[in-house]
Amino acid sequence: MILDYVLLIFLILCAIGTTITKNLLDAVIIFMAYSSVMAVIWALLQSPDLAITEAAVGAGVTGILFFITLKKIHSVKGTRD
């Protein structure tokens, strides 16, 4: 019960953090954290199907695609220029 509330509050904080972060790389990482927490919440809500998909797609694939896009538009520091 307490775990639920903690996770939900963390979820909301992550969602707000994603939108107000200035650095795009940080925003993507916070978004991946949001997806991981969401996967745990799906598992607690007794829908393990969604939890697996959320963990694989939300925290894995989407994050990687975001990183590639950031690299393509040269907005990650330290890779080039």
Residues that bind another protein (CB under 8 A): 48-49, 51-53, 56-57, 60-61, 64-65, 68-69, 72, 80
Neighbours of 25 (CB within 10 A): 16
User: DSSP character for 77?
Assistant: B
- Shortest Cβ distance from residue 35 to another protein (Å)? 12
Nearer to another protein, 17 or 60 (CB): 60
Nearer to another protein, 14 or 54 (CB): 54
Nearer to another protein, 19 or 78 (CB): 78
- For residue 35, give both structure tokens: 């997806």
Quote the CA–CA distance of 64 and 73 in Å, as a whole number. Answer: 14
CA distances from 58 to 46, 73, 78 (A): 18, 22, 25
- Shortest Cβ distance from residue 53 to another protein (Å)? 4
